[in-house]
Structure 1
Amino acid sequence: MSAPAAQAYGEPLELPVVVGVDGSEPSLRAVDWAADEAALRGTSLRLVHASLWERYEGVSVAADLAKPSEEVMAEDIVRTAERRARHREPAVKVTTDVLPEEPEYALIRESRSALAMVLGCRGRTGMTEALLGSVSVAVAGHAHCPVIVLRGSHDNQARTGTHGRIALGVGEKPAGSPAARFAFEEALLRGVPLETVRAWRRPLHEPPAHPLIVGDPAHLEEQQAAAMVEEALRDAPTGLQVQRRTVEGFARDALIVVSREADLLVVGARRRQGHFGLQLGRVAHGVLHHAACPVAVVPEPA
């Protein structure tokens, strides 16, 4: 693939794109996406497989290599992923690692030194997709970098996709939003428009009359949503094509609808200091399970 069409907006390029691999077909599709992402950003690709294979040591040993069979399988997984990445993007530098620990902990630690992380949506069992996303959801809820989870029937690439647009869910604190900056980057790198979306809802009860407030309360809510979209776009780079949308309804539902016509949906997730539980929020959690396209969850300060 040729050199990046545009430099990433406001972010250093020395950190790698990291992808978690587990040997499943969805994780190999994640390798494709991550290789394209690394090529677009002009950076390296790091393939990581994490598994507690050492718990099986002494139970089943590969006869030829005198290694636990689970360790042999782990090494084969990363070699297969490495071949796929090099075939996909020959110019991208690829490194690999096998980590003998739980995937969630390993990937969250890896996120501290990653430009972005890419994960497949499904795991290695036959459970439903929602349940299989447990590792992806856990990592997206605690990672220190943007996490791209490959939801939906995407076309397997971070190049110009089927729909030719990136969507951004505008959050409660849009000014200087890391999610907005990440969405700017993604749209610029692909040379596609950015669609910004903010949902609003009618008041459940009419507010008390006030001499300085006139007009329909629902109209005021819509105006406020439009103002928040403009605030999110305040630092948008020159040359970025932007489409603005305000939608009446719940934010999660609005973004799921928008995801049907996007190649990537970007949402923010608040990180509260000293809070150790899942830090996704209802909107990000909902779109991770139901979006029709890949979802990028970007950590943001509370």
Structure 2
Amino acid sequence: MLAYVAQQLGYFNDENLAVTLLNKQEIKDLEAGGGRLDAQVNWFQHAVFGVVNGKPQVAVMVLHDAPGITVMVSEASKGEIRSAADFAGRRIAEGASHSAKGIVTSYLASRAGLPSGSYTPVMAAVDGRREAVTQGLQEGTVDVLTFMEPMTTYMKETGLVSTLYDLATRESTVAEFGAVWPAESLLVTPEFLKDHPDIVQRLVNAMRRTLEYVRSRTPERIAELLSSTYLAGKETADAVQAIAKRWPTLSQGDYTVSPGSAQLVIDAIKSAPFDDTLSGQIRAKVKTVDIDASTLYANAFVEEQSPVAS
């Protein structure tokens, strides 16, 4: 979303950048033809996966410094499940095991002393998930669920769940894990970083201005700004709510990746019991290699006090 805001406001143009924003299908088509993205907004975990999947990435700016994830327990099970130590033998709706939700859930279990595979993931399919999980809660076939917005709010409104772990903000995440969890970040390829540091700096400048703009505006204003691009065809009320729910995860001025934060994500990924899908098995290779956390980020571009257009 933030890249579309920057584009709409002309911040890329202000930095003399010619930026083309691609949707998921366009990215697939590009990669199918042997092309690669120079830069992307994606979760920091993709820099970790890049070590083994042939798509190395370096994070140059953290845009969201919290995962925005909530782990909930069913009302029927909350007397028995008081922490991740009680996940053993339980049925947990967490999405794909290689997703951020799956990685966070397995890491919570690992930190609580449980071995990999101690619980059973359920209802990973995206289509119809809301209805399936609600039915599972009603029938007692789901014990724990890990979601982001807007699913978190929807599940809470059913009255069938209580919050077990709140990772919706930087503060609550640091309180739980002892470090910031870098979520969506500006990632660039190592080659692009080496060959075009000036362009990387200008991208960072544009995204810094974008975050400052977004934090000083209302969700309604951002929804209006993106109504003809990123949010085209979506109901305004739903768009405003979705944006508002993501507000607490926006970086507040510290856009760096700390060594502890990078290692946190690496450790969490290594604890995950990846599924048998092709994506899962490729990413599972991370568990077999040693990763130098310092190679996954470059803070110089956000630490540089470059002139920013007003």
TM superposition score normalised by structure 1 = 0.25
Of Structure 1 and Structure 2, the greater helix share is in: 2
TM superposition score normalised by structure 2 = 0.25
Of Structure 1 and Structure 2, the greater strand share is in: 1
Bigger relative contact order (CA 8 A; separation at least 6): 2
